[in-house]
Chain A
Amino acid sequence: MDAIDLDGVTKAFRTPHGTYTALHDLNLSVPASEFCAIVGPTGCGKSTTLSLVSGLERPSVGHVRVGGQPVDGISSEVGFVFQNDAVLPWKTVLDNVSAGPRWRGASKREAVQQARDWLLRVGLAGFEDRHPHQLSGGMRKRVALAQSLINEPRVLLMDEPFSALDVQTRSIMSNELLRLWDLTKPTVLFVTHDLEEAIALADRVVVMTAGPATVKDIFTIDLPRPRSVQEIRFTPQFVELYHEIWQSLRSEVELTYTRSMTALEVV
């Protein structure tokens, strides 16, 4: 049984300028414990895919299933790491991380105990009483990761989680993510526009078409694990995969770019 199953999914939004189709007839299955990366041109509907899996949005047509169950509202099986900071700025690090279990009905003591364990795992022991604004971007991402993983989701959705970080912090965080992923092995759906990041992290890379998005190609990344994100990009296999996937992605990126330029001319 697949952990995530998108079956003939179309998603249209109503806008002041008429309907806008973000996804069209999307089919994608992700087996349990797989790390699946989605790449595609900007604004193609990658994030929409994640909202559908999380239950924040419903498909206009088609079916979305998580763990075999149709998605009907927000599922407790799912964790979501957002592109922008979504940790609560008025809660301390400890309160942010323990919030999930508290909201799900755990006792305060239990939740705090779990939160301390997770802060240790993400390397933030000693920062329990800080507020988010006192932390760097990388550390806030660690809080966000601990906040999601403490619920032990079977499915972890990540929407360009590291795109706001500087290049060095980013590759460190990617390594951290792989190590954390190894602890509970959730199914990961990782959206990014960075092809290198996708290949370095994932078991499979899904290339999406320019909007309305649908699956164009799927590539299996058979690079050995455990991987070091910084080192792996110098191996010949990586370069070969990059070349191959870029061939597929390139035309979509170019199409999106041309469209945005013509849209500008029309305006």
Chain B
Amino acid sequence: MSSAAVHPFTVEPDPAVALTRPPVVVVDPVAVRRQRRRRLLVNVIRLLVLGVTLGGWELGVRTGHIDAFFVGQPSGVASQLKTWAQHGTEVGPLWTQVRVTLQEALTGFAIGVVAGIVAGITLGRVRLLAEVFGPFIKVLNSIPRIVLGSIFILWFGLGPSSKVALAVVLVFFAVFFNAFQGTREVDRNLVANARILGAKRRHVTMQVVLPSALTWIIASLHVSFGFALIGAIVGEFLGAQQGLGLLISHSQGTFNPNGVLAAMVIIAVVALLAEGAISLLERRLLSWRPPQLSGADL
């Protein structure tokens, strides 16, 4: 391009050119009001469902139709949480238990995700490795991985590392298979185009394959954080000095259903917060996708 002459061509009257003009927004007040009323209705019914379930349970216990010794009762769970928060639990302060379990789960999650992505993309890109390791991975995957927990306790002891290890193996396979599949499903046209434009192998991996596989990988993150929590808690069941899993097994041992349920409530809150964080991450990383394709609002 020796001549610096620039030829600004006229743009065709293309529908998307309208992007440059302020969009015409039509607000239908009736539709807006109807939508708002509907949302209110849904929320009211949700509260009713919750109230009826918990209220019925509580009422059943108080009238003697349900045996609180076996199933606990909502008010008991609430007061158990209050006691734990104010006076600590039987195995130590409540906050410490939450922190220990969360730390194990997050560490296992991080290691498992990174290892899964690296292994998945490497095997997806290098055919020879995929052919060599394919059967081994299948065998490893077919083992119910929870049983590895016992081995990890023997190897790493009762401390957090055995729980982290269990979380890692659970997370790794979920992420690995998605990363592998995502790498294999990359649009061959995109790769051919990038190569002709001058992309080297590493450019193709980092700028074409990885972003393309990211849709698959992120889908697996939602499931795998749950797996990380399972790994940490089951690891604590099997033998631990601290953590929510220990708290649950301790409550179980002392015939305290309210304690088990209270720990479950805490875990549910943690899991929901993590799910929210992953959805935020998803929205950021996949912002290039057309809106109707990114994250369902469920």
Q: Which A positions have Cβ atoms within 8 angstroms of B?
A: 54, 56, 74, 76, 78-80, 82, 84-91, 99-101, 103-104, 114, 117, 120-127, 130-131, 133-136, 138-139, 147-148, 151-152, 168-169, 172, 176, 179, 183-184
Which of B32-40, B76-84, B150-158, B203-211 has 4 or more CB atoms under 8 Å from chain A? B203-211
Q: Which of B166-199 contact A (CB under 8 A)?
A: 187, 189-190, 192-199
Determine whether the beta carbon of A86 is less than 8 Å from that of B192: yes
> Is B16 part of the binding interface, using a Cβ–Cβ cutoff of 8 Å?
yes
Complex CA gap A125/B196 in Å reads 25
Residues on the B chain within 8 Å of A76, using CB: 198
Complex CA gap A89/B7 in Å reads 27
Determine whether the beta carbon of A133 is less than 8 Å from that of B7: no
Determine whether the beta carbon of B8 is less than 8 Å from that of A100: no
> Is B65 part of the binding interface, using a Cβ–Cβ cutoff of 8 Å?
no
Q: What total of A-B pairs shows CB separation below 8 Å?
A: 102
> Is B9 part of the binding interface, using a Cβ–Cβ cutoff of 8 Å?
yes
> Is B25 part of the binding interface, using a Cβ–Cβ cutoff of 8 Å?
no
Least CB separation from B10: chain A residue: A123
Can you report 24 A-B residue pairs in the complex whose CB atoms are below 8 A from each other?
A: A56-B196, A80-B196, A82-B193, A85-B189, A86-B187, A86-B190, A89-B288, A99-B199, A101-B198, A103-B197, A103-B199, A104-B198, A117-B1, A117-B6, A120-B8, A121-B9, A123-B9, A124-B11, A133-B290, A139-B14, A151-B198, A152-B1, A169-B14, A183-B7
> Is B296 part of the binding interface, using a Cβ–Cβ cutoff of 8 Å?
no
**Given A56-B192, A78-B196, A82-B193, do A89 and B9 touch, yes or no (CB 8 Å)?**
no
Determine whether the beta carbon of A99 is less than 8 Å from that of B194: yes
Complex CA gap A135/B10 in Å reads 16
Residues on the B chain within 8 Å of A134, using CB: 16, 19, 290
Main secondary structure of the interface of B (DSSP, over half): helix
Least CB separation from B14: chain A residue: A136
Determine whether the beta carbon of A138 is less than 8 Å from that of B14: yes
| Supplied contacts A90-B212, A139-B17, 14 more A-B pairs, CB within 8 Å | A56-B192, A86-B187, A86-B189, A88-B207, A90-B214, A91-B207, A103-B197, A117-B1, A123-B10, A124-B11, A133-B288, A133-B289, A136-B16, A183-B7
| Contact residue among A86, A114, A139, A147 (Cβ-Cβ distance under 8 Å from B16) | A139
Complex CA gap A169/B12 in Å reads 8
How many B residues touch the partner, as a band? 35 or more
Complex CA gap A136/B12 in Å reads 11
| Contact residue among A74, A90, A125 (Cβ-Cβ distance under 8 Å from B288) | A90
Complex CA gap A187/B238 in Å reads 71
Determine whether the beta carbon of B192 is less than 8 Å from that of A183: no
> Is B20 part of the binding interface, using a Cβ–Cβ cutoff of 8 Å?
yes
Q: How far is the CB of A77 from chain B (nearest CB, A)?
A: 11
Q: How far is the CB of A71 from chain B (nearest CB, A)?
A: 12
Q: Which B positions have Cβ atoms within 8 angstroms of A?
A: 1, 6-12, 14-17, 19-20, 187, 189-190, 192-200, 203, 207-208, 211-212, 214, 288-290
Least CB separation from A75: chain B residue: B196
Residues on the A chain within 8 Å of B8, using CB: 120-121, 123, 125
Least CB separation from B9: chain A residue: A123
Least CB separation from B195: chain A residue: A74
Complex CA gap A117/B194 in Å reads 21
Determine whether the beta carbon of A82 is less than 8 Å from that of B189: yes
Determine whether the beta carbon of A86 is less than 8 Å from that of B193: yes
Determine whether the beta carbon of B12 is less than 8 Å from that of A172: yes
Residues on the B chain within 8 Å of A114, using CB: 1
Q: Which 10 A-B pairs have the closest CB atoms?
A: A86-B193, A136-B16, A103-B198, A104-B198, A100-B197, A123-B9, A133-B290, A90-B288, A90-B211, A123-B11
Residues on the A chain within 8 Å of B19, using CB: 127, 130, 134
Residues on the A chain within 8 Å of B16, using CB: 134-136, 139
Determine whether the beta carbon of A103 is less than 8 Å from that of B189: no
| Contact residue among A56, A100, A136, A183 (Cβ-Cβ distance under 8 Å from B15) | A136
Residues on the A chain within 8 Å of B290, using CB: 133-134
Least CB separation from B211: chain A residue: A90
Residues on the A chain within 8 Å of B288, using CB: 89-91, 131, 133
Residues on the A chain within 8 Å of B195, using CB: 56, 74
Determine whether the beta carbon of B197 is less than 8 Å from that of A147: yes
Q: How far is the CB of A60 from chain B (nearest CB, A)?
A: 20
The residue in B12, B208, B212 that gathers the most chain A C-beta atoms within 10 A of its C-beta is: B12
Determine whether the beta carbon of A126 is less than 8 Å from that of B1: no
Least CB separation from B214: chain A residue: A90
Complex CA gap A36/B4 in Å reads 27
| Contact residue among B10, B12, B208 (Cβ-Cβ distance under 8 Å from A138) | B12
